[in-house]
Amino acid sequence: MTQAETWIPSCSVEEAHEILTRSGSPLEIEVDVFNGRQLKVWKNQPPSMREFYLQVTEEYKNKTYVVYGEERYSFQGLFHSSIKCAVAFKNVYGIKKGDRVTICSRNRPAYLAAFWACHLLGAVSVLLDPLLPLEPLKHCLTLAKCTILILDPDRADMVHPIASELKKTTGISVYIVFNDQATGVRWAGMDAWTTVCSEDREASEDILNNDPNVLPDDDAAIFFTSETTGLPKAVLTSHRACLTAPFNDSLLEGRERLRQGEPVQLGSSQNSNVQGGILLPRVMCHIGPFASMMTCTYRGLKLVITRTWDPPEVVKHPFSRYTTLLTICSVAIVIRELADNGLAGYPLESVVFTGGTIPSSFFQSVRKGFPQTRVQQVYGITETTGAVGGFGKDGYGIQDWYAPVMIITGICRYLLLPYIAA
C-alpha cells in the first residue's frame, strides 16, 4: 500500500475551505451582483489589474521579478519599463481605457513591460499565440480589432509583407517590434521597441496620477482558444476574472497544507528567507502560464522565462544561482521532457499540468521523476468551456482525487465571433 493510499488528512476539504475563507481572512469570500446574477468573489481582491500591479510593485520593489537567461529585472525595474511604455502608448499612439493592444511574441521581459503598460492605462491586452501560422493569425487579428500590434522579430518577418493589408482589414494602426541590438531595425513602417520607450519623468507622473477608473468587471484581456475544432475563438475576460487566479492558487495551497497539518502562509512570500520561482516553458498567452504569472506576481516570486523551448538547455539552466525553483507550469509532455532530460529529482514544490486530463500511466511516470512534488491539473478556455478549474495534490492519483480543490473561475465573459452576413 502506497503512502498516498494510507494518508489520513488532518481535516476535510470543506473544513479547510471554511477556515481559509472565514470573515477577516485574506481569502474571505463575499457575494456580489453582476448583470443581475449573484457571484461569490474574493473580498480582498484589488478592483483592477492596474491597482494590483501598483500594490505588488510597492510591496516587492527590490525583489527580483523576472529571470531571463543571465538577465535580471526587479519588480521596480520592470515597473519602470512599464511606465515608459505606457507613456508612449498614451502620448505617442493615443491609447486610452478600453483600447486594445495585441502582443504576439515569445516570452521576454519586454512582453511583461508591454502587458502591464496596457493595464496602467486601462487598455485591454490581447495575448496571441506566436506559433500560429499566418492565416489563423490574420483571423485572430480580425477578431481582436486592436489599435497596436506588438511583435517579436520572427513574427515581424512574417507579418511585414502583409502589414498594409492588415491595417485595412483589422483596424491596426501601429506596429511595434521587440527589437534589440542584434536584430536592429529592419522593418519599414514598424516602430522599434528600443526607440518607442523613452524617458519622460513628467509624463511618467501623469500616468501614475491619472487613474482611468477601471471597475472589476470592465474588459481586461482577450485570450484565444486552441485550434482543436477549427479556427481559434476570441475570449474576452474581465479584471475580476484575471485577478481570481492568484487567490484561487492561494486557496489551493492553503487547503493542502491544512490537510497535511502544516502551517499556512497566505499571500506573499515576503517573510520567507528564500525567494522561490516559477518556470514558464510556454508563452503567457495560454491560460495556465498566464495564471502562474499572476500567482508569481501576487506572491513576490521570481518568474523564470525562456525564449524557446529546448529541454536539454532548460535543464542546464543554473537554477541554483538564480532561484529556488518551486513550480513548473506546462502541458504534460513538456513536464515529462524535463524529467527525461535530467531534471528528475529536482525538489519542486509543485508541477502544474495544463490541458486535458492525463492518463494514469503518464501521471505515474511524472510522479516517479518528482516523487515529493505537489501535482495540480488546470483546464479551461477551450472550444467547450469558458471556465478554468483545477485539481491537486494528495487526492491526485488516489480514489478521491477528483474532489475539486480550486474555485471554478468563470473567466469567459464573451466569445468574440466574426460577423457572418446572411
Among 157, 179, 214, which residue terminates a domain? 214
Q: What CATH number has the domain bearing residue 149?
A: 3.40.50.980
- Dig out the grid coordinates for 7 from the structure: 494518508
Element (H, E) at 377: strand 374-380
Among 214, 232, 260, which residue terminates a domain? 214
For the sheet with 388-392, list strands across it.
71-74, 64-68, 302-305, 276-280, 324-331, 350-354, 374-380, 388-392
Are 191 and 274 members of one domain? no
Are 201 and 86 members of one domain? yes
Assess if residue 109 is contained within a domain: yes
Are 305 and 198 members of one domain? no
pLDDT tens track for 261-296: 888 876 555 445 667 888 887 788 888 788 889 989
Q: Into how many domains does the chain fold?
A: 2
> What whole-number distance in Å separates Cα of residue 127 and Cα of residue 234?
10
Assess if residue 192 is contained within a domain: yes
What residue ranges in 24-153 does DSSP mark as E strands?
Answer: 29-34, 37-42, 64-68, 71-74, 100-104, 124-127, 148-151
CB atoms within 10 A of CB 164: 10
Assess if residue 299 is contained within a domain: yes
Are 206 and 256 members of one domain? no
Assess if residue 235 is contained within a domain: no
φ, ψ (nearest 5 deg) of residue 95: -70, 135
Are 373 and 311 members of one domain? yes
φ, ψ (nearest 5 deg) of residue 245: -55, -55
Are 244 and 189 members of one domain? no
- Dig out the grid coordinates for 99 from the structure: 483600447
Are 322 and 181 members of one domain? no
Are 193 and 300 members of one domain? no
Assess if residue 419 is contained within a domain: no
What residue ranges in 35-185 does DSSP mark as E strands?
Answer: 37-42, 64-68, 71-74, 100-104, 124-127, 148-151, 174-177
pLDDT of residue 205: 87
DSSP annotation string for 243-293 = HHHHHHHHHHHHHHHHHHT-----S--TT-SS-EEEEE-S-TTSHHHHHHH
Assess if residue 21 is contained within a domain: no
Among 179, 214, 249, which residue terminates a domain? 214
Are 188 and 310 members of one domain? no
- Dig out the grid coordinates for 351 from the structure: 508541477
Are 203 and 260 members of one domain? no
Assess if residue 29 is contained within a domain: no
Bridge partners of residue 238, in order along the sequence: 219
Q: What CATH number has the domain bearing residue 354?
A: 3.40.50.12780
Are 245 and 208 members of one domain? no
Assess if residue 64 is contained within a domain: no
Which residue ranges in the chain fall short of pLDDT 70?
A: 1-6, 181-184, 199, 201, 227-228, 266-274, 309-327, 329-332, 341-343, 345-347, 353-358, 372, 377-422
Q: Containing domain of residue 290, as a range?
A: 240-412
Are 245 and 181 members of one domain? no
pLDDT of residue 292: 85
